[in-house]
A and B are shown apart, each in its own frame.
Chain A
């Protein structure tokens, strides 16, 4: 199972699309590793610089409809090769969310209120998230602040994470 804990990268906008996560011009690469330098290259967000702000981060916290647009699995892969295996948001585009779990990664949905609370209390501060996959909870810590947040993923998504992805699961079952 992959690592779902570590420093948080805040992306404070809804509807971040997969073209912003990894521009189409890099889809000619035939290896996942080659995508590493280009993650979030086209994301224009106040105070965000992809060249400085991605390194050392392992969890993304964002708003709604994350990963909309193109079906490119290059988007989760670009996160994966940058050691980011979990995105937390209000909601996700269907294909992006499925792609995350298909790769054994996690797209975790929390209520808009909880997400807003996280942004308000931790946004702009050095923040870490410690995830306990088994009990489906996480502890978020920032500058003296600490809070336990319970999350829920479906039985299918849980099985995909545990098996390492959909290819492994399907090969075993179909």
Chain B
């Protein structure tokens, strides 16, 4: 019997099978940010175990509230900073070099095919785009990961989603994943890994694959996975060129993590996306999804473009194509947060930041802040936000606020008009 990608990765990392299908795996990387790590650090100190299993495998960033907004968030940063220093963790990204973890760490080459990765953040599933097993965990799992370099999971069961066809103009990876979550439900993949395959995924850039995998957890999935291919190798080449003689050699090595054709799945879902329209959410759950056309005309107070879902360069390019030559409506305020300093800088060089500013956007530093209502764009009671983020829970971006999830194109078009708008109205032909 063949194996899925997650099974192959688990089999290569198994340390122990203590009970039934519980599998303790060795970790290739432990990612940390300032919201879920400090309590783990404090606990390790309290236990007299203030050490790390391998400082080179721990990657640390301050990203949720940065710059610090008050004494408490400043202390979270300080606990993380001091800990990284005394444990000789060299990959620590402080303000000026920091960005949204799930955009920054891939950009640094920290996610690789076949890797096992945990982080105290549910959107860690993003890194599965590289053919890795990457899972969000709580602070206790994180603490053990930091100390021992292991984590326990049920042996993975997988669902395969074959995405085929040809996306229409103005329809993006975000629309695809929203439509998938709408069909599966918020509980449709609980305790499962989702393998995203098919010609649409094959044609996607790494950024789009990350958008897809990022929201796997919104269907309950442990991880979203895309098979490593030449797109993966090209993205990682600057980091792996010392390890392989050629890109072909790297690809051949990474192919070992592709699922076998006779692998066993809990479910295989086929999806033709050729007729898919732009999608968005309408309620307080990510599976409450409708075509944008059915929501068109709904007024919005704030537009937010950014986050680990859609704050990457290609997302900003798409939004800028819609915005170019337009100004946002007087009835909205609009915020863009490039997800990393590199993205910010490249957007600046390409003139994209200029387009956002000419349109009337506020350009903020890279941070997760607004997405979870912590800083940099919190909603007031009764306000509505058109957002490129991944969660529309009640109160998510601020108590009493309503969040509608959508693609950067739809968000940008909605900023121009002040109400939910299909981007087809503004997208430049061949732009």
Known interface pairs A69-B391, A166-B141, A167-B144; A25-B373 also in contact (CB < 8 Å): yes
Residue from the list A30, A69, A103, A156 in contact with B38, Cβ < 8 A = A30
Residue from the list B19, B138, B148 in contact with A95, Cβ < 8 A = B138
Q: Are B220 and A68 in contact (CB under 8 A)?
A: yes
Nearest chain A CB to B39 CB, angstrom units: 6
B143 within 8 A of partner (CB): yes
Give the complex CA separation of A44 and B64 in angstroms: 26
Number of A-B contacts (CB under 8 A): 141
Known interface pairs A71-B121, A71-B122, A155-B20; A28-B140 also in contact (CB < 8 Å): no
Closest residue of B by beta carbon distance from A14: B187
* Set of chain A residues within 8 Å of B394, measured between Cβ atoms: 19-20, 42, 44
Main secondary structure of the interface of A (DSSP, over half): loop
Nearest chain A CB to B70 CB, angstrom units: 7
User: Chain B: how many interface residues by the 8 Å CB criterion?
Assistant: 55
A65 within 8 A of partner (CB): yes
Task: Choose among A64, A72, A91, A94 the residue with the greatest number of B CB atoms under 10 Å from its CB.
Answer: A94
Q: Are A71 and B18 in contact (CB under 8 A)?
A: no
* Set of chain A residues within 8 Å of B140, measured between Cβ atoms: 73, 99, 102-103, 165-167
Nearest chain B CB to A102 CB, angstrom units: 4
Interface segment among B6-14, B73-81, B171-179, B238-246: the answer is: B73-81
Q: Are A174 and B24 in contact (CB under 8 A)?
A: yes
Q: Are B16 and A42 in contact (CB under 8 A)?
A: no
Residue from the list B43, B75, B147, B190 in contact with A94, Cβ < 8 A = B190
* Set of chain B residues within 8 Å of A174, measured between Cβ atoms: 15-16, 24, 148, 150
A127 within 8 A of partner (CB): no
Kindly supply a per-residue 1/0 record for chain B positions 103-138, scoring 1 wherever the CB is within 8 Å of any chain A CB and 0 otherwise.
000000000000000001110100000000000111
Closest residue of B by beta carbon distance from A92: B190
Q: Are B190 and A156 in contact (CB under 8 A)?
A: no
A143 within 8 A of partner (CB): no
Within 8 A of A (CB), among B360-418: 372-374, 391, 393-396, 399
Q: Are B372 and A24 in contact (CB under 8 A)?
A: yes
Q: Are B36 and A73 in contact (CB under 8 A)?
A: yes
Within 8 A of B (CB), among A19-33: 19-20, 23-25, 27-32
Q: What is the size category of the interface that chain A forms with chain B?
A: 35 or more
Residue from the list A15, A17, A102, A159 in contact with B138, Cβ < 8 A = A102
Give the complex CA separation of A118 and B150 in angstroms: 39
* Set of chain B residues within 8 Å of A93, measured between Cβ atoms: 190, 220
B5 within 8 A of partner (CB): no
Q: Are B393 and A71 in contact (CB under 8 A)?
A: no
Residue from the list B18, B43, B70, B152 in contact with A28, Cβ < 8 A = B70
Closest residue of A by beta carbon distance from B222: A94
* Set of chain A residues within 8 Å of B75, measured between Cβ atoms: 30
Give the complex CA separation of A73 and B120 in angstroms: 9
Give the complex CA separation of A19 and B186 in angstroms: 15
Within 8 A of B (CB), among A72-93: 72-73, 76, 91, 93
Closest residue of A by beta carbon distance from B378: A25
* Set of chain B residues within 8 Å of A94, measured between Cβ atoms: 190-191, 220, 222
B139 within 8 A of partner (CB): yes
* Set of chain A residues within 8 Å of B19, measured between Cβ atoms: 154-156, 159
| 14 further contact pairs, Cβ within 8 A, besides A42-B394, A95-B137 | A15-B186, A19-B372, A19-B395, A24-B372, A30-B39, A30-B72, A32-B39, A42-B399, A72-B138, A73-B139, A98-B138, A102-B138, A154-B20, A155-B22
Q: List 10 A-B contacts (CB under 8 A).
A: A24-B372, A24-B373, A28-B65, A30-B72, A64-B187, A68-B220, A71-B36, A71-B120, A159-B18, A170-B144
Which residues of A pack against B, CB within 8 Å?
A: 14-15, 17, 19-20, 23-25, 27-32, 42, 44, 64-65, 68-73, 76, 91, 93-95, 98-99, 102-103, 154-156, 159, 165-167, 170-171, 173-174
